[in-house]
Amino acid sequence: MDVAAMRANALPDQLRLKRNRSFAAIAVFLVFLLDQATKWVVTYPLQLEFRREIRLVEFFDLRWVENNGVSLGLLSADGELGRWLLVAMTAGIAIFVAIWLWREKRRDDSFALALVLGGALGNIVDRVRYGYVVDFADLHFGEWRPFLVFNVGDAAITIGVLLLLVRALLMRDGRANKKES
């Protein structure tokens, strides 16, 4: 095959990859923007930090939480050293996700990775600016709280990871079914 024919065959893949990257970049930006905008609203106009709690509906409140750790309160950073170690660790994870996203060819996985990256970037910005992550969404059913207080970035990260896990499990099952037939 000559060079021109190889370029012609590669063009659709390159174009698809470029479109996926553009789509993912927009998704990262929108998640980051929504995360930061909601944190701004609860911090400044609503002054949730001083009000501590705003009851919206029977099962959802706004509640001010300064999260010094990562998910589930793990790796709590009480001092400046811990804070910057968490920033470095989460930035390292964000870089890994960004590289994976850059190389990803599947649009659905690109979207899931964009959710993770956008949420992670929002939380990194909080940790750098304030020394903690602003959490405010409190979903509960009576006194039962199935989730910790979270923010838009946390929700995006969780949804992105779940999408990746579900697709990985379905893909594995799909390969198994193809081998059986």
Q: What is the pLDDT of residue 16?
A: 86
Q: What is the pTM of this model?
A: 0.85
Q: Is 126 a catalytic residue?
A: no
Burial of 43 (0-12, 13-18, 19+ CB in 10 A): middle
Q: Is 135 a catalytic residue?
A: yes
pLDDT < 70: residue spans in the chain: 1-11, 71-75, 173-181
What is the residue-wise DSSP string for 33-84? HHHHHHHHHHHTTS-HHHH-EEEEETTEEEEEEEE-SSGGG-S---SHHHHH
- Measured over the CA atoms of residue 46, residue 52, residue 56 and residue 59, the dihedral's sign is positive
Catalytic residue among 35, 126, 138, 154: 154
Q: What is the pLDDT of residue 50?
A: 97
Catalytic residue among 35, 109, 126, 135: 135
Residues 6+ apart with CB under 8 A from 20: 104, 105, 106, 107, 110
